[in-house]
Chains A and B, each alone.
Chain A
Amino acid sequence: MAQPKYIKAYYDYDEKLVGSLKVLKEKGIEILDVLTPFPVHGLDKLLGYRRSWIARVGFIGGAIGAACGLGFQAWVFVKDYPLNIGGKPFFSLPSFIPVTFEMTVLFAAFAMVFAFLIRSKMGPGAHPFIHDEKITDDRFVVLVGLKGNTSDKNIEGVKSVLNGTGARGITLKADVELSKNY
């Protein structure tokens, strides 16, 4: 979804950001994205993001790892090439646990990291549009949408709301494919 026009503004402090996001929400203004230098607590609730699925991805990855690890060892020692090692049973569960555990952790970690990178469209060589070089420094940027209504009256209205919340650097932006970033 290409947004033809949107407004960019920033705040200096995270309390200010959280306070004014509440105001913007009350006035029914569309918030396209919020970009911050560090995780601001309560933002995901405020913006209505659902809880991340990454925990479930990790669980599934870990389950696959555990099944593969244990299953492979059992198959090797019971079915494919049974070896008598010190008279131990072929299926000696206690000694399969370390490898099974390591495989669980390995698969879960990789599953989560890949899920995170793919879902966030991140990875080596990703070139998203950088809205402001100070985001990673000390600016809390808000991107505000206009819901397709690009009349001067609406733009001025949104701008004045932003102004009222103490936002700085309020500028009208156009022609950036926001959808590319998410």
Chain B
Amino acid sequence: MYVSPIRESLIQGNKDYKKITDDITAPVSQKPTIFWFIGFTVSSIAAVIGIFAMSMTIWKGIGLWGVNRTIGWGWSITNLVWWIGIGHAGTFISAILLLFRQKWRTSINRSAEAMTIFAVMCAGVFPLIHMGRLPLGYFIMPYPNTRGLWVNFNSPLLWDVFAISTYFLVSLLFWYMGLLPDIATLRDKVKIKILKPVYRFLSFGWTGSARHWSRHESMSLILAGLAAPLVLSVHSIVSFDFATSVIPGWHTTIFPPYFVSGAVFSGFAMVLTLMIVARKTMNLTEYITVNHIESMNKIIIATGSIVGIAYITELFMAWYSGVIYERFAFYNRALGPYAWAYWIMMSCNVISPQLLWFRKLRRSVIFTFVLSIFINIGMWFERFVIVVTSLHRDYLPSSWSMYKPTIFEIAIFVGTLGIFFSLFLLFVRFFPVIAISEVKSILKSSNKKHLDKHN
């Protein structure tokens, strides 16, 4: 086994297999901390407010929102794309980094996958409400009906239905299959009477047999192989919603790679936001170390720079193409009434991640936390800029308009944040935040105590 002489060990402290089990399953058996209760209360209140606003919208209609005939896609599509983007990190970490044999992924993959699933759930809410007539939502599925009609398979909006639902289901399978051995650990470890049968049910009868492991390993590898192109396809297809239209500012060929790298960029930012809090409050600093944070920061700077290049390419092409509408769309973005949004996006997404070239900042937990929040905000504004500023002034000046969200749109967005954080807090309370069996399998090559023994 090759061990790098320069790299610091991934798992710190004096660890053996039993210690790993105890450390990671500790939150399940203990009473949650006061921070957990405060966090859970705040986020469930937000969720309730959001669900109320959603119900009002479904009951009364889209008239409660600020969208109009010019700007039909307001906050709701902005939020859809934002949440889907966040949902890209989990499967990226667990699938693509698995294929690249990046061992550091084992400490963060499980919670990142959970985050993916919750983010995609939040994303799915928006197009459904945005349809306006939710009870007819099943019209988006191809099913035989008395009118003899089918859905339009040439439409990117329909591709989206397939892409997002497939992504959700496959991520869920991947996450749950990986979770099975760890749920079995909880089943055997937890002594709480009410929880034990629940874990026994959820563990699907995992025994740890070598036959099962052998099959499980080959399945995980192929699922990763399938999930890797899936991650890339989902945001590509989301970008087709824009790119296949003829709106200036949307009709560009760089959208798929630009959206995918933006998605990974925002996803890692959200993973960092969550993990920096989780590692401190749950005593996992020896598992999610500064090295992990640095590795994620490196991905942030790579994807962030791709996003920056994409912005500049867009600007250049708008000028170089000589198309007056395209040029106007970009002048309007940078200097028009929504310029403030454009410059928030530029400074958060292009300038701020460049600070990560400094090793000191890359390894600073506080700096990374603040930066991750900035990136989350910046990526939200990117979608806002793409959706709203492109629509509000297009070919016909008589239909130019402005858009402002109403309290209901804001409440729904806050509500999805609440749903997301409530689900995540429940996850960290009742499931292992870190993939126990995967960390055990890398322990010998990644923990100082074991390395010393071998050399």
Residues of A within 8 A of B (CB): 33-40, 43-44, 47, 49, 51-52, 54-55, 58, 62, 72-73, 76-77, 80-81, 83, 85-86, 88, 92, 95-96, 98-99, 101-103, 105-106, 108-110, 112-113, 116-117, 119-128, 130-131, 133-138, 181-182
Contact of B207 among A40, A138, A181 (CB under 8 A): A181
Nearest first, the 9 A-B pairs at minimum CB distance are A126-B205, A138-B17, A98-B159, A136-B185, A133-B188, A38-B441, A102-B166, A39-B213, A34-B210
CB pair A105 B158 closer than 8 Å: no
Contact of B188 among A51, A81, A96, A130 (CB under 8 A): A130
Determine the distance from Cα of A99 to Cα of B154 in the docked complex, in whole angstroms: 10
9 residue pairs from A and B, CB less than 8 Å apart: A37-B21, A38-B438, A38-B441, A44-B210, A44-B214, A51-B218, A126-B204, A130-B207, A137-B17
Residues on the A chain within 8 Å of B226, using CB: 58, 62, 105, 108-109
> Which stretch of B145-153, B259-267, B341-349 is in the interface?
B145-153
Determine the distance from Cα of A134 to Cα of B184 in the docked complex, in whole angstroms: 10
Residues of B within 8 A of A (CB): 16-18, 21, 142, 148-150, 152-154, 156, 158-159, 162-163, 166, 169-170, 173-174, 177, 180-181, 184-185, 187-189, 200-202, 204-219, 222-223, 226-227, 229-230, 233, 237, 240, 437-438, 440-441
CB pair B18 A137 closer than 8 Å: yes
Determine the distance from Cα of A102 to Cα of B158 in the docked complex, in whole angstroms: 12
Residues on the A chain within 8 Å of B207, using CB: 35, 128, 130-131, 135, 181
B441 shortest CB reach to chain A, Å: 4
Residues on the B chain within 8 Å of A38, using CB: 181, 213, 437-438, 440-441
Residues on the B chain within 8 Å of A95, using CB: 153-154
CB pair A37 B208 closer than 8 Å: yes
Residues on the A chain within 8 Å of B213, using CB: 36, 38-40, 43
Contact of B216 among A58, A116, A124 (CB under 8 A): A116
CB pair A123 B153 closer than 8 Å: no
Residues on the B chain within 8 Å of A130, using CB: 188, 207
B438 shortest CB reach to chain A, Å: 7
> Closest residue of chain B to A125, judged by CB?
B201
Given A73-B153, A124-B204, the answer on whether A54 and B441 have CB atoms closer than 8 Å is no
Residues on the B chain within 8 Å of A105, using CB: 166, 170, 226-227, 229-230
B2 shortest CB reach to chain A, Å: 14
Q: Which of B169, B206, B212, B233 has the most CB of A within 10 A?
A: B212
CB pair A76 B204 closer than 8 Å: no
Determine the distance from Cα of A40 to Cα of B154 in the docked complex, in whole angstroms: 48
Determine the distance from Cα of A136 to Cα of B112 in the docked complex, in whole angstroms: 23
> Closest residue of chain B to A141, judged by CB?
B208
Determine the distance from Cα of A52 to Cα of B16 in the docked complex, in whole angstroms: 31
Determine the distance from Cα of A88 to Cα of B152 in the docked complex, in whole angstroms: 12
B343 shortest CB reach to chain A, Å: 34
Determine the distance from Cα of A103 to Cα of B277 in the docked complex, in whole angstroms: 37
CB pair B222 A55 closer than 8 Å: yes
CB pair B154 A109 closer than 8 Å: no
B190 shortest CB reach to chain A, Å: 11
Determine the distance from Cα of A96 to Cα of B142 in the docked complex, in whole angstroms: 14
Determine the distance from Cα of A18 to Cα of B219 in the docked complex, in whole angstroms: 23
Q: Which of B18, B153, B226 has the most CB of A within 10 A?
A: B153
Residues on the B chain within 8 Å of A62, using CB: 226
Given A38-B438, A54-B219, A136-B208, the answer on whether A113 and B173 have CB atoms closer than 8 Å is yes
CB pair B148 A81 closer than 8 Å: yes
Determine the distance from Cα of A170 to Cα of B210 in the docked complex, in whole angstroms: 19
CB pair B166 A106 closer than 8 Å: yes
Determine the distance from Cα of A72 to Cα of B21 in the docked complex, in whole angstroms: 49
B56 shortest CB reach to chain A, Å: 33
Determine the distance from Cα of A58 to Cα of B226 in the docked complex, in whole angstroms: 10
CB pair A127 B188 closer than 8 Å: no
CB pair A54 B158 closer than 8 Å: no
Residues on the B chain within 8 Å of A96, using CB: 153
B152 shortest CB reach to chain A, Å: 7
Determine the distance from Cα of A124 to Cα of B16 in the docked complex, in whole angstroms: 31
CB pair A137 B205 closer than 8 Å: no
CB pair A137 B152 closer than 8 Å: no
Contact of A103 among B162, B174, B185 (CB under 8 A): B162
Determine the distance from Cα of A137 to Cα of B395 in the docked complex, in whole angstroms: 65
Residues on the A chain within 8 Å of B230, using CB: 102, 105
Determine the distance from Cα of A40 to Cα of B180 in the docked complex, in whole angstroms: 17
Residues on the A chain within 8 Å of B237, using CB: 98
Determine the distance from Cα of A60 to Cα of B181 in the docked complex, in whole angstroms: 27
Contact of B177 among A81, A101, A116, A135 (CB under 8 A): A116
Residues on the B chain within 8 Å of A125, using CB: 201
CB pair B185 A137 closer than 8 Å: yes
Residues on the B chain within 8 Å of A181, using CB: 207, 209
> Closest residue of chain A to B169, judged by CB?
A106
CB pair A33 B204 closer than 8 Å: no
Q: Which of B148, B184, B202, B204 has the most CB of A within 10 A?
A: B204
Given A81-B148, A99-B153, A135-B188, the answer on whether A123 and B205 have CB atoms closer than 8 Å is yes
CB pair A121 B205 closer than 8 Å: yes
> Closest residue of chain B to A134, judged by CB?
B188
CB pair B209 A182 closer than 8 Å: yes
B216 shortest CB reach to chain A, Å: 7
A141 shortest CB reach to chain B, Å: 8
Residues on the A chain within 8 Å of B16, using CB: 138
Contact of A102 among B18, B162, B208, B441 (CB under 8 A): B162
